[in-house]
């Protein structure tokens, strides 16, 4: 199970507190949850993604992680610590590399994901030209390019998120893989096109409580809005006024007239 964090600022900001210093900073979540399979941070120079990734456990190279975090400034920042899923049953050495770490990026898009896509090969073979862009054995990369293909088809990011579960289920029912009961475990995502920040909570089962505070479902994301910034995370990094991002809800966040604005899309209705 991976841990995620995203931030949007009216101007330019950093996330040292949420990644390093806070009581339940992403680094401390990685230690508690033993997210040992890589980490990464992405931000934007204009609308061009800049990404730092490592295949090592973040707590095994704390100095490098701290250096990257403290040097990262941007209007949109996305971070990830990884505990690898392995729906293909591959040997570990194929799963652990910088290419397998997140965020994934292409053109102006950045994505981090928590969960397992149980049918990655079945997805990739339906991606057309996007399938040729897959560089890793990480099933989350197949999900990334599936989402991009849906954005291209639908011409709208919110509609793509609304459609992605249905698309995965259609592929699953066509392929009928006997090794799994569902096409995914979770589609929890933080995503950006360089202009807006999106976060999606979607999970099929609830395997327990949050890592640090134990006061929310482990897959239920949350966000902390303010006038000049918004933080969204797989779980809260500090105590305070966080808003739950409920199951099958999408958060859409942008800057308008010098203020953070956001909208919640409820896909249950």
Q: pLDDT of 113-148, one tens digit each? A: 999 999 999 999 999 999 999 999 999 999 999 999
Of the options 3.60.20.10, 1.10.630.10, 3.40.50.620, 3.30.70.920, the CATH number for the domain spanning 3-266: 3.60.20.10
Domain boundaries, the chain: 3-266
Which tens digit of pLDDT belongs to each residue from 215-259?
999 999 999 999 999 999 999 999 989 999 999 999 999 999 999
Tell me the pLDDT tens digit for each residue of 72-93: 999 999 999 999 999 999 999 9
Q: What is the mean pLDDT of residues 184-197?
A: 97
* Contact criterion met (CB below 8 Å) for 144 and 192: no
């Amino acid at each position: 199970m991976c841990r995620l964090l995203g931030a949007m600022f009216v101007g330019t900001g950093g996330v040292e507190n949420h990644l390093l210093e806070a009581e339940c900073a992403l680094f401390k979540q990685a230690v508690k949850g033993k997210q040992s399979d890589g980490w990464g941070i992405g931000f934007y120079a204009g609308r061009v993604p800049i990404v730092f990734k490592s295949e090592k456990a973040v707590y095994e190279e704390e100095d490098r992680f701290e250096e990257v975090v403290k040097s990262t400034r941007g209007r949109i920042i996305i971070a990830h610590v990884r505990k690898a899923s392995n729906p293909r049953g591959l040997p570990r050495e194929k799963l652990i590399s910088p290419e397998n770490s997140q965020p994934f990026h292409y053109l102006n898009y950045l994505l981090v994901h928590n969960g397992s896509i149980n049918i990655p090969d079945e997805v990739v073979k339906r991606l057309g030209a996007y399938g040729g862009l897959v560089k890793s054995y990480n099933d989350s990369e197949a999900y990334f390019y599936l989402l991009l293909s849906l954005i291209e088809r639908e011409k709208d990011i919110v509609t793509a998120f609304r459609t992605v579960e249905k698309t995965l289920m259609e592929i699953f029912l066509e392929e009928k893989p006997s090794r799994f009961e569902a096409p995914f475990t979770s589609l929890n995502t933080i995503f950006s096109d360089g202009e807006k920040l999106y976060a999606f909570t979607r999970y099929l089962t609830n395997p327990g409580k949050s890592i640090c505070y134990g006061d929310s479902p482990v897959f239920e994301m949350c966000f902390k809005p303010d006038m000049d910034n918004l933080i969204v995370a797989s779980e809260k990094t500090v105590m305070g006024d966080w808003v739950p991002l409920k199951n099958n809800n999408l958060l859409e966040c942008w800057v308008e007239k010098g203020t953070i604005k956001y909208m919640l899309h409820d896909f249950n209705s």
